């Protein structure tokens, strides 16, 4: 992906040299033409066309914000409620992610999810220990982590 | 348009202050370190982020001043506060702070016991080997 972006910038500079005009507008124009060229030649690269990956990163950031707002709403409900009928606990969550940065992002996302907080990561990077406020909806939490977060992170690294 | 932006500024500042208040209430009300950490690490984050966003919009709208430091503060806060919450609760757990007495499940304790038992077995084996070698 980094190679494709560098190539695109180089093509933009090439465009600036061809037009003999060195302002940001012609850089952007050259960048767009370069994008088109890279899209046409996408089958010669090893990785996917890089805009897909940029898009999945943007959707991951949006997911972060959505989870942050939802978790705040649940904390507000929990604190305002007159009676504290919560059942906290710690459960182990097996993850399929392998890279360090993926696990970091996953644990940040889990910490921002409603009602869960990462306590520890096992030494072999396979299990996350998650403290949850309500143990009753563990299965719910696990499936939502599996289906939305892990998928989104895999999508970025594909 | 003006009215909308002014409404948004007021909304962000008020919501941020309210969330910070809720975080403070949560820290007082909830029973143990871990549940308190839930309130502190989530509500305080979004609260401060909303206040920063409101301040940014205010200066941009009224004075035409684009303050990128507020945006940077926003991003840094967003990246660091979940890590801080994780580290505090992890340090608490490993220094032996107990869970609330109504907590129901503790997988970490179970797995840590298993791991330490495994280590002990390894040690015994190694000692036996050493004993054999020295003989």
Whether chain B has a CB inside 8 Å of the CB on A107: the answer is yes
Whether chain A has a CB inside 8 Å of the CB on B128: the answer is no
Residue B13's pLDDT is 94
- Cβ distance of A84 and B30 shorter than 8 Å: yes
Residue B106's pLDDT is 66
Of B35, B41, B100, nearest to A111 by CB-CB distance is B41
Segment A80-93, tens digit of pLDDT? 877 777 778 788 88
pTM, 2 dp? 0.77
Most confident stretch, A3-12, A62-71, A73-82, A140-149: A3-12
Residue B130's pLDDT is 55
Name the residue with higher pLDDT: A71 or A146: A71
Confidence band of A153 (pLDDT split at 50, 70, 90): confident
Of A69, A80, A131, nearest to B89 by CB-CB distance is A131
Residue B14's pLDDT is 94
Whether chain B has a CB inside 8 Å of the CB on A62: the answer is no
In degrees and rounded to multiples of 5, residue A129 shows phi and psi of -100, 120
Segment A23-51, tens digit of pLDDT? 999 999 999 999 999 999 988 888 888 88
User: How far is CA A131 from each of CA A118, A125, B73, B111, rounded to the nearest angstrom?
Assistant: 6, 17, 28, 14
CA-based nearest residue in chain A for residue B45: A68
Segment B111-128, tens digit of pLDDT? 666 666 666 555 555 565
Residue A26's pLDDT is 93
Which residues does residue B106 pair with via DSSP β-bridges, in sequence order? A90
Q: How far apart are alpha carbons B86 and A100 in whole angstroms?
A: 16
Residue A3 reports pLDDT greater than 70 = yes
Name the residue with higher pLDDT: A134 or B102: A134
Residue B134's pLDDT is 56
Three-class DSSP category at B65: coil
- Cβ distance of A79 and B99 shorter than 8 Å: no
CA-based nearest residue in chain B for residue A73: B43
Q: How far apart are alpha carbons B78 and A59 in whole angstroms?
A: 16
Residue B115's pLDDT is 67
Interface test with B, best of A60, A63, A76 (most B CBs within 10 A): A76
Residue A21's pLDDT is 87
Confidence band of A117 (pLDDT split at 50, 70, 90): confident
Q: How far apart are alpha carbons B66 and B59 in whole angstroms?
A: 7
**Distance to chain A for B132, nearest Cα, Å:** 31
CA-based nearest residue in chain A for residue B91: A119
The count of C-alpha atoms lying within 13 angstroms of the C-alpha of B78, restricted to the half-sphere facing its C-beta, is 21
Whether chain B has a CB inside 8 Å of the CB on A157: the answer is no
The count of C-alpha atoms lying within 13 angstroms of the C-alpha of A78, restricted to the half-sphere facing its C-beta, is 31
> What tokens appear for A42 in the block?
């996408």
Proportion of chain A above pLDDT 90, given as a percent: 21
Q: Which residues of B touch A89 (CB under 8 A)?
A: 99, 103-106
- Cβ distance of B103 and A64 shorter than 8 Å: no
Residue A18 reports pLDDT greater than 70 = yes
Confidence band of A155 (pLDDT split at 50, 70, 90): confident
Residue A11's pLDDT is 93
Q: Which residues contact A31 (CB under 8 A, 6 or more apart)?
A: A8, A9, A11, A12, A15
- Cβ distance of B102 and A91 shorter than 8 Å: no
Segment B21-71, tens digit of pLDDT? 988 988 888 888 888 888 888 888 889 999 999 999 999 988 888 888 999
Whether chain A has a CB inside 8 Å of the CB on B29: the answer is yes
The DSSP line for A75-141 is HHHHHHSSS---B-EEEEEE----SHHHHHHHHHHHHHSTTEEEEEE-TTS-EEEEEESBGGGHHHH
Residue B33's pLDDT is 85
- Cβ distance of A90 and B109 shorter than 8 Å: yes
């Amino acid at each position: 992906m980094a190679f494709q972006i560098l190539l695109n910038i180089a093509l933009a500079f090439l465009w600036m040299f061809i037009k003999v005009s060195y302002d940001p507008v012609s850089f952007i124009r050259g960048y767009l033409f370069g994008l088109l060229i890279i899209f046409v030649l996408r089958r010669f690269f090893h990785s996917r066309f890089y805009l897909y990956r940029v898009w999945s990163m943007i959707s991951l950031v949006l997911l972060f914000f959505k989870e942050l707002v939802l978790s705040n709403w649940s904390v507000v409900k929990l604190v305002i409620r007159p009676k504290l009928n919560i059942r906290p606990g710690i459960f182990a969550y097996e993850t399929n992610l392998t890279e360090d940065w993926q696990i970091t992002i996953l644990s940040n996302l889990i910490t921002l999810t409603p009602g869960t907080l990462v306590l520890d990561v096992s030494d072999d990077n396979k299990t996350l220990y998650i403290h949850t406020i309500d143990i009753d909806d563990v299965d719910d939490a696990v499936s939502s982590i599996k289906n939305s977060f892990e998928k989104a992170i895999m999508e970025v690294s594909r | 348009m003006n009215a909308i932006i002014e409404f948004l500024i007021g909304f962000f500042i008020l919501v941020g202050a309210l969330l910070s208040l809720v975080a403070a209430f949560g820290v007082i009300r909830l029973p143990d370190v871990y549940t308190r950490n839930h309130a502190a690490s989530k509500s305080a984050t979004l609260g401060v982020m909303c206040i920063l966003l409101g301040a940014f919009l205010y200066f941009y709208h009224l004075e035409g001043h684009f303050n990128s430091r507020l945006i940077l503060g926003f991003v840094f806060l967003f990246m660091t506060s979940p890590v801080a919450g994780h580290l505090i609760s992890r340090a608490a757990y490993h220094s032996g702070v107990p869970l609330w007495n109504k907590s129901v499940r503790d997988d970490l304790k179970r797995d840590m016991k298993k791991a330490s038992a495994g280590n002990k077995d390894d040690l015994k084996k190694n000692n036996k080997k050493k004993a054999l070698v020295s003989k």
